[in-house]
Amino acid sequence: MKRARFISKGRTLEGRLEGPWLIDPAGEAHPPDQVTWLLPVQPGKVLALALNFAEHADEFGLKRPSEPALFWKPNTSLLPHRGTVIYPRGARFMHFECELAVIIGRNLRRVKAKDALGYVGGYTIANDLVVRDYVSNTFRPPLRGKGWDTFGPLGPYYVSADEVADPHDLKMRAYVNGELRQEASTQGMIFSIPEVLEFISRFMTLEAGDVILTGTPKGISQVHPGDTMRMEIEGLGALENPIEWESADAEPVIGQEGDRNLVL
């Protein structure tokens, strides 16, 4: 089932997608283009993986990680479908990253990989935006590059795990202003979802509602204010977000440009 959270006619609702309509618990139909979208889940923790696609590492000549490389994505970075991404003043190189997001369905600790998918509640789409200026060996983990407010679009739907036959065989596409910029498959993951969950749960309890971003394939490219990004993953829908400049009275945050060969 594809579920969504949204505001319609002044009410905050949770509904399901049926055909072209969002159906609320009372059975009322809502046109998706006339609602205000909310995050599909209110997450506890948000973790993300760096360099989890072989082709993404290979295209930059980087060594593939020997274990999952994790970093935090701040909850304040999260943004729903059609929310506006803010381009920081002073940033010189910002890009999108289309990613499959795993939503934890029930608490797990020290789970084995063979059992791990049983703890997944569902999936959604993420766009792990980055200001490349601040991604370098000096700034690790890359919170300064990836932790800006609005840099974590998520949605539009919470797609239950039983609707996804194989999360490791889904087509991924990213468009900017209608132009195809990125195309791949989740088959390219270095570490599978069960392997990632086993690794994390060795030292951390994952709780229902936590979200794991599983990495991006090759093909990232720069975006600018005025652009509209569209992230698509097979069976999960499409996540769209426009980009606007930070307000004119915001003080530019300018730092040393990072090494663009260090890719996350």
Structural domain includes residue 58: yes
pLDDT at 264: 47
Mean per-residue pLDDT for 96-111? 98
Q: Classify residue 260: in a domain, yes or no.
A: no
| 50 in the same domain as 18 | no
Segment 192-204 mean pLDDT = 98
* Same domain? 34 vs 52: no
Whole-number average pLDDT of the chain: 91
pLDDT at position 65 over 90: no
Whether residue 111 sits in one domain with residue 23 = no
Distance, CA of 204 to CA of 107 (rounded, Å) = 11
Number of domains composing the chain: 2
Both 24 and 143 in one domain: the answer is no
pLDDT at 186 over 60: yes
- Which segment of 17-26, 53-62, 80-89 scores lowest on mean pLDDT? 53-62
**Stretch among 2-16, 52-66, 90-104, 237-251 having the lowest mean pLDDT:** 52-66
User: With contact defined as beta carbons under 8 Å apart, do 167 and 181 qualify?
Assistant: no
End-to-end CA distance of the chain: 31
Are 46 and 30 in a shared domain? no
Inside any domain, residue 263: no
Residues 61 and 77 occupy one common structural domain: yes
> Which two three-digit tokens encode residue 37?
């979208």
Residue predicted with more confidence, 186 or 134: 186
- Asked whether residue 174 falls in the same domain as residue 215, the answer is yes
Binned at pLDDT 50, 70 and 90, residue 253 comes out as low
Domain that holds residue 162: 39-245
Kindly state whether residues 26 and 112 are assigned to the same domain: no
pLDDT at residue 60 in the model: 64
Q: What mean pLDDT comes out for the span 115-144?
A: 84
Q: Are residues 98 and 226 in the same domain?
A: yes
Considering the domain architecture, whether residues 87 and 191 belong to the same structural domain is answered as yes
238/81 Cα distance (integer angstroms): 9
Q: Are residues 152 and 65 in the same domain?
A: yes
**Is there a domain that residue 251 lies in?**
no
Tell me whether residue 257 is in a domain. no
Average pLDDT over residues 66-72: 93
Place 260 in a pLDDT band, splitting at 50, 70 and 90: very low
Q: Are 88 and 195 in the same domain?
A: yes
Q: What is each CA distance from 207 to 26, 43, 97, 105, 212, in whole angstroms?
A: 30, 9, 25, 8, 11
Q: CB-side exposure of 24: number of CA atoms within 13 Å?
A: 15
Indicate whether 95 belongs to any domain.
yes
**Which CATH number does the domain housing residue 124 bear?**
3.90.850.10
**Tens digits of per-residue pLDDT, 223-239?**
999 999 999 999 999 99
Residue 197 lies in a domain: yes
Residue 256 lies in a domain: no
